[in-house]
């Protein structure tokens, strides 16, 4: 079974596609239940609660994204040992990663609950949205354990080539989330607190199912509860690979929080419209996320196995496929934007903001896909500091500086919309020249 899942032999396009497809379907279900949150909240609670729920993603990713990046680094380490068939070190890496996740979950809960009110103030959250935002985020961070450990467990499974079990568990948790949304909001007449509780319960379910899979499997990635502890030499290696990815996520999230604060400046309708578009854009990111995860695992395993020519061929296929799929979805979003935004909120002003944002960004998804794909390749090769620096310069320093200068001058939300395609273009140029000059695969 392990040899069957290994990406170091067999047809490259078939192995990568079969690995990416369950990730795509899993992300699709995750996006569907996140969107279900927003659809139910927007249609039954109104525009301000919708603004609170949809704008929360940037804050949660600011804090959780760092730990997700560490888990990516752990996955690279595990994939490397798996590809090299060094199962002893792989087991040490797995148990150290789980120990790290448990400790990090506690820290994140405390930090998230304590900092949420202040972050919302820093973001200039409108008064009419403030209470709902605070309620939703506080409850969400109390459930941090489920979110963090799910990412940890999925990273382990995907590193050894298993992308199917996470899909099954996401389907289950998605159904649970939607059912609980309906029960809490429609039946029990709860507000955004009901949506937040439904989300954290579903996350705990998916994390628990992944954990059970890891302790019942008879394969080399089996988790022994008594062995969950820190090996500091291995932890150092995991952090070396994962810290740049974690910092990259935090950098992107920080820049997005700044962007969100500029959107907040234009009021609740702008927040709701842009937030509704963000849910739709999440679907556009699905092929990007799927193939970038596949690329990172593929590159990590094949470098571990010293299959360098195979790495080169896999990179070409993965990058090209990601770009094509992302752009096809971008065209559909551009065309269908009025119908898609209206599904969340029938307020004409909200719809207007959402359509404008969609039609500014959607046709440039190929740039976003290229940047993420090359970033994934470099992470799989252990060069995660390069994408971190590119994102720091292009997606944080330039993005934030551009907004700080231009928004006060023009006082037009179009300035906020255009900052994304512009910085996607800059990062793509940087990755293109770096990869062309430095890559041997």
CA distance 423 to 415: 12
Higher pLDDT among residues 352 and 21, named by residue = 352
Domain of residue 312, residue span: 10-438
> Does 147 score more than 60 pLDDT?
yes
pTM (2 d.p.) = 0.73
The answer as to whether 3 is a domain residue is no
pLDDT at 373: 94
227, pLDDT greater than 90: yes
* Residue 62 domain flag: yes
End-to-end CA distance of the chain: 28
What average pLDDT score do residues 230-236 get?
92
- So what's the pLDDT on residue 121? 86
| Residue 160 within any structural domain of the chain | yes
Give residue 90's pLDDT. Answer: 94
Tell me the mean pLDDT in the region 61-77: 81
Residue (of 23, 63, 351, 53) closest to 177 by Cα position: 53
pLDDT of 296 higher than 80? yes
Measured over the CA atoms of residue 143, residue 144, residue 149 and residue 152, the dihedral's sign is positive
H or E element that contains 405: helix 399-410
pLDDT over 70 (residue 264): yes
Rounded distance between C-alpha atoms, residue 138 and residue 201, angstroms: 14
pLDDT band at 440 (very low <50, low <70, confident <90, very high): low
Which of 39-43, 139-143, 229-233, 364-368 bottoms out in mean pLDDT, i.e. has the lowest?
39-43
Residues 6+ apart with CB under 8 A from 82: 2, 6, 90, 159, 160, 161, 220, 221, 301, 304
**Per-residue model confidence (pLDDT) at position 3:** 54
Residue 392 has pLDDT above 70, yes or no: yes
Nearest by Cα to 38 from 217, 203, 192: 192
For residues 139 and 253, what is the distance between their CA atoms, to the nearest angstrom?
A: 20
Counting residues of the chain whose pLDDT is more than 90, the rounded percentage is 42
Domain annotation covers residue 115? yes
Q: Of the ranges 27-36, 102-111, 113-122, which one carries the lowest mean pLDDT score?
A: 27-36
pLDDT confidence of residue 48: 80
Q: What is the DSSP letter of 222?
A: P
Rounded average pLDDT over 282-298 = 84
Tell me the per-residue pLDDT of 159-172, one tens digit each, with 9 for 90 and over. Answer: 888 888 888 888 89
Under the banding of pLDDT at 50, 70 and 90, the label for residue 297 is confident
- What local confidence, expressed as pLDDT, does residue 65 receive? 79
Mean pLDDT of 318-343: 93
Instruction: Give tens-digit pLDDT for 400-420.
Output: 999 999 988 998 999 999 999
**In this predicted model, which residue has the larger pLDDT, 113 or 285?**
113
421 in Cβ contact with 361 (< 8 Å): yes
Span of 17-31, 105-119, 193-207 with lowest mean pLDDT:
17-31
Residue 4 in any domain: the answer is no
pLDDT at res. 2: 55
Average pLDDT over residues 349-356: 94
Q: What is the mean pLDDT of the chain?
A: 88
Inter-residue contact 221 to 214 (CB < 8 Å): yes
Alpha carbon distance 139, 423 (integer Å): 33
Report the domain count for the chain: 1
Q: Compute the distance between CA of residue 268 and CA of residue 52 in angstroms, rounded to an integer.
A: 9
């Amino acid at each position: 079974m392990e040899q069957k899942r290994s990406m170091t032999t067999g047809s490259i396009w078939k192995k990568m596609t079969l690995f990416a497809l369950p990730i795509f379907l899993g992300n699709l279900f995750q996006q569907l239940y996140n969107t279900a949150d927003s659809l139910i909240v927007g249609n039954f609670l109104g525009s301000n609660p919708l603004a609170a729920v949809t704008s929360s993603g940037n804050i949660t990713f600011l804090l959780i994204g760092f730990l997700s990046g560490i888990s990516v680094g752990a996955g690279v380490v595990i994939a490397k040992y798996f590809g090299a068939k060094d199962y002893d070190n792989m087991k040490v890496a797995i148990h150290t990663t789980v120990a790290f996740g448990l400790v990090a979950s506690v820290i994140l809960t405390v930090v998230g609950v304590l900092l949420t009110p202040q972050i919302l103030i820093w973001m200039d959250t409108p008064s009419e949205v403030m209470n709902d935002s605070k309620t939703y985020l506080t409850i969400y961070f109390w459930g941090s354990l489920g979110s963090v450990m799910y990412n940890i467990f999925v990273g382990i499974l995907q590193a050894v080539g298993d992308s199917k079990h996470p899909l099954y568990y996401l389907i289950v948790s998605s159904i649970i989330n939607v059912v609980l949304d309906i029960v809490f909001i429609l039946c029990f007449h709860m507000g955004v607190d009901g949506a937040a509780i439904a989300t954290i319960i579903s996350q705990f379910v998916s994390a628990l199912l992944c954990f059970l899979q890891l302790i019942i499997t008879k394969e080399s990635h089996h988790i022994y509860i008594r062995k969950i502890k820190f090996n500091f030499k291995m932890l150092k290696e995991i952090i070396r690979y994962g810290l740049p990815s974690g910092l990259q996520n935090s950098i992107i999230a920080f820049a997005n929080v700044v962007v969100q604060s500029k959107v907040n400046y234009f009021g609740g309708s702008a927040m709701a419209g842009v937030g509704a578009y963000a849910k739709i854009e999440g679907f556009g990111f699905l092929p990007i996320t799927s193939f970038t995860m596949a690329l990172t695992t593929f590159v990590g395993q094949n470098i571990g196995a010293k299959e360098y020519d195979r790495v080169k061929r896999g990179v070409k296929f993965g990058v090209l496929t990601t770009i094509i799929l992302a752009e096809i979805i971008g065209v559909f979003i551009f065309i269908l934007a009025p119908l898609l935004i209206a599904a969340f909120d029938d307020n004409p002003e909200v719809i207007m903001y959402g359509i404008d944002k969609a039609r500014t960004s959607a046709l440039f998804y190929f740039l976003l896909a290229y940047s993420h794909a090359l970033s994934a390749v470099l992470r799989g090769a252990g060069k995660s500091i390069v994408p971190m620096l590119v994102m720091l310069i292009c997606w944080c320093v330039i993005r934030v500086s551009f907004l700080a200068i231009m928004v006060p001058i023009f006082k037009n939300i179009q300035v906020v919309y255009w900052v994304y395609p512009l910085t996607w273009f800059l990062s793509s140029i940087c990755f293109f020249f770096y990869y062309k000059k430095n890559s041997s695969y």
